[in-house]
Amino acid sequence: MEKFDVIVVGAGHAGCEAALAAARMGFRTAIFTLALDSVAMMPCNPSIGGPGKAHIVREIDALGGEIGRITDETSLHVRMLNTRKGPAVRALRAQVDRKLYSWKMRQILEREPRLFLREGCVERILVKGGRVWGVALRTEERFQGKCVVVANGTYMRSLIHVGEVHYESGPQAQQTTHGLSRNLEELGFQLIRFKTGTPPRANSRSLNYDKMTALPGEKLPRGFSFTSKVAKRKQLPCWLTHTTSETHRIISENLDRTALYGGAIMGIGPRYCPSIESKIVQFPDKESHQVFVEPEGWDTQEVYLSGVSTSLPAEVQMEVARSIPGLENVEFLRLAYAIEYDCLGPHQLKSSLESKTIRGLFFAGQINGSSGYEEAAAQGIIAGINCGLYLRKEQPLILGRDEAYIGVLIDDLVTKTIHEPYRMMTSLAEYRLLLRQDNADRRLSRYGKDLGLLSGERYEKVQSKWYAVEKEMERLGTWRITPSQVITAALESVGSTPISRVVTGEELLRRPEITYSELRALGFESTFDEELQELVETEVKYAGYILKERRSVERFQAMEARVLPDWIDYDLVEGLSKEAAEKLNSVRPHSLGQASRIAGVSPADISVLMVFLEHRGRRLKASEKTD
């Protein structure tokens, strides 16, 4: 029987990052996939990034992951979103070549030392004495592993819905598995049923782009990876069109034939990625909805019709599509469908993503109730890292909500009650200004270096970059400008008020309308490129808000430092509400801060816990004096 340190079940975005992290930490690692040609497959929109998600990709890159670098290599359309808003919510988004992305990731897996890629369907997790022991395949092959990461996405008891037609299948005609669901239930895990969906794919030759609005890509100074050079290749455009009143009429008349409204679907779908029929029902007064036509690759005519995800019958899907301007003669390459699947209630996991009941068993990705490639990859790299730390007998890496969007994501999953597929959004992070996408390397690279996932050379470059930023800010604070007619004219030309006293460059740069360009015109010399200039501007303009958030983080950290011992039976804590005791016993929070984020635990319950901890502390001190 072949033996490994780490076994990863599934080679989607979570599995790939988990396997690479474990192997790069020095552990013999196996990764199993249902189909070698589907490594890191993108069954929904082949895009990476967007609000919240772009921040996660940058954080994975800062830790030493691959998703950002491969996205930069395979992108065919790139845009920066929310540029009119503050830096906390600006987000990079890239449309990628779906097949090329998959192929690049497979190459990386195949070439990584200590990593062994294998096609096979894992149907059982083997456990002995409360610890994971290995896995068994559908072929009855067994492989021994000291750690196992389950990252098999939406493939457990997956069921496809197209109108009144329902059949067992994974995404895009992949196989499904029943054995793993049964096995997890036998091991005592609670499974829940979620649903997602995808729109039809069309042949680009059949579309009339004259009736659509072109959305060209942008030339940006930086991609997702802090190490990537900016691609100079020509980008493909995306296109915008809209549904019509005729579209809405067709959908309304066929609602009872959809799997969603016809009663066939029992799973809960993502709120922030609704089907077109859900939009029509929920927003009956809205005259039209956006439809984005997005390319799937450089060498294919296949395009993704974003915005019209549906579970309508096949013939109705075609009728709906042909009612949209530019799609009157559309030819489908793939039908839209809804898919139901089993996943794990993530409250059964520790913050390290390890099972609370079986040592060495970790879960990552959509099996934990999340949605999206980025959220999956984030859980994957953390699960892989924590497998390595588990084998080293070291403390797990648990990123705080004040450190990373990844910390927010995982804390939400294991702490809050997940009623629908979880999607990361900037509004879920309390400290958005500290967790910008542009400073992820500053926040997390030291972890990557200490874990052996980042080279010393790369870490030194990060340190040098931020040292230069700090020196530039110091220089701005000492560079002074004196009032004069020339200075007044220059300031008024950009809509800025004149100065009446000597001011520093830092004071001027705080003004919203002043950028590096204006400072150069006033005589300030700098060798910084566009990326570093933006970093300095952000740090200077938002210094007051950043300081306020850091003070808030100090209060947050004080709550996180109040540890709740694992042995507490909350049913016996006098004064707790019954609901709070039930939720606390279920989640087993590691700190007072985590307890405060559990639904059903009130501020009054937190006060009771604070008193409990204080009394316990006094008793411990008293016993120490007695001894």
- Give the whole-angstrom CA distance, residue 611 versus residue 333: 63
pLDDT tens digits along 524-536: 888 888 889 989 9
Phi, psi of 61 (to 5 degrees): -65, -40
In a domain, 462, yes or no: no
Judge contact between 293 and 326, C-beta under 8 A: yes
Closest CA to 595 of 555, 552, 562: 562
Mean pLDDT on 86-94: 90
225 and 361 part of one domain: no
- Could you tell me where the DSSP H helices lie in 143-301? 179-186, 245-253, 276-282
In a domain, 555, yes or no: no
575 and 509 part of one domain: no
Using alpha carbons, list the distances in angstroms from residue 316 to 30, 254, 282, 472: 44, 8, 20, 60
Which sign does the torsion angle of CA 499, 505, 511, 513 carry?
Answer: positive
60 and 154 part of one domain: yes
Mean pLDDT on 404-417: 94
Name residue 305's amino acid.
L
Closest CA to 442 of 18, 85, 63: 63
- Half-sphere exposure at residue 14, Cβ-oriented, CA atoms within 13 angstroms: 28
- Give the whole-angstrom CA distance, residue 335 versus residue 453: 41
- Give the whole-angstrom CA distance, residue 338 versus residue 163: 9
Mean pLDDT on 320-335: 97
Judge contact between 597 and 415, C-beta under 8 A: yes
- Give the whole-angstrom CA distance, residue 107 versus residue 332: 31
Out of 490, 518, 546, a domain closes at 546
Other beta carbons within 10 Å of 445: 24
Which residues face 48 on adjacent strands? 94
pLDDT in the model for residue 228? 83
In a domain, 122, yes or no: yes
pLDDT tens digits along 263-309: 777 667 677 678 899 898 988 899 999 999 999 999 999 999 999 99
Using alpha carbons, list the distances in angstroms from residue 465 to 60, 86, 321, 532, 549: 19, 23, 50, 8, 23
pLDDT in the model for residue 56? 97
Mean pLDDT on 579-591: 90
Out of 317, 339, 361, a domain closes at 339
530 and 567 part of one domain: no
pLDDT tens digits along 419-467: 889 999 988 899 999 999 999 999 999 999 999 999 999 999 999 999 9
284 and 412 part of one domain: no
Judge contact between 55 and 435, C-beta under 8 A: yes
- Give the whole-angstrom CA distance, residue 446 versus residue 465: 14
583 and 610 part of one domain: yes
- Number of domains, the chain: 4
The average confidence (pLDDT) of the chain is 92
In a domain, 302, yes or no: yes
Closest CA to 226 of 452, 546, 42, 457: 457
Check which CATH number belongs to the domain holding 500 and give it: 1.10.10.1800
In a domain, 498, yes or no: yes
pLDDT in the model for residue 362? 98
Residue matched to tokens 């062994």: 116
Of all residues in the chain, the percent with pLDDT exceeding 90 is: 71
- Coil, strand or helix: which one is 100? helix
pLDDT in the model for residue 529? 86
Phi, psi of 277 (to 5 degrees): -70, -35
pLDDT in the model for residue 624? 57
280 and 177 part of one domain: no
pLDDT in the model for residue 466? 95
Q: Which domain holds residue 595?
A: 561-626
In a domain, 463, yes or no: no
pLDDT in the model for residue 273? 76
30 and 170 part of one domain: yes
Name residue 593's amino acid.
G
25 and 166 part of one domain: yes
pLDDT of 627 > 60? The answer is no
In a domain, 459, yes or no: no
Sequence-ordered list of residues with C-beta below 8 angstroms from that of 464, at least 6 positions apart, any chain: none
Phi, psi of 146 (to 5 degrees): -75, -25
220 and 327 part of one domain: yes
190 and 128 part of one domain: yes
48 and 175 part of one domain: yes
- Half-sphere exposure at residue 505, Cβ-oriented, CA atoms within 13 angstroms: 22
pLDDT tens digits along 463-487: 999 999 999 999 999 999 998 888 8
Phi, psi of 623 (to 5 degrees): -70, -35
pLDDT band, very low/low/confident/very high, at 617 (cuts 50, 70, 90): low
pLDDT in the model for residue 328? 97
In a domain, 253, yes or no: yes
β 332-334/165-168 pair status: unpaired
Which residues face 177 on adjacent strands? 156
pLDDT of 114 > 80? The answer is yes
Closest CA to 162 of 40, 230, 254: 254
pLDDT tens digits along 125-148: 999 999 999 999 999 999 999 999
Residue matched to tokens 């290995």: 134
Check which CATH number belongs to the domain holding 429 and give it: 3.50.50.60
- Give the whole-angstrom CA distance, residue 163 versus residue 315: 9
pLDDT in the model for residue 620? 61
pLDDT in the model for residue 221? 80
Mean pLDDT on 85-96: 91
Tokens matching residue 50: 């967007």
Out of 397, 424, 451, a domain closes at 451
Using alpha carbons, list the distances in angstroms from residue 612 to 590, 598, 616, 617: 15, 18, 6, 9
pLDDT in the model for residue 619? 64
* Greater model confidence, 271 or 247: 247
pTM: 0.93
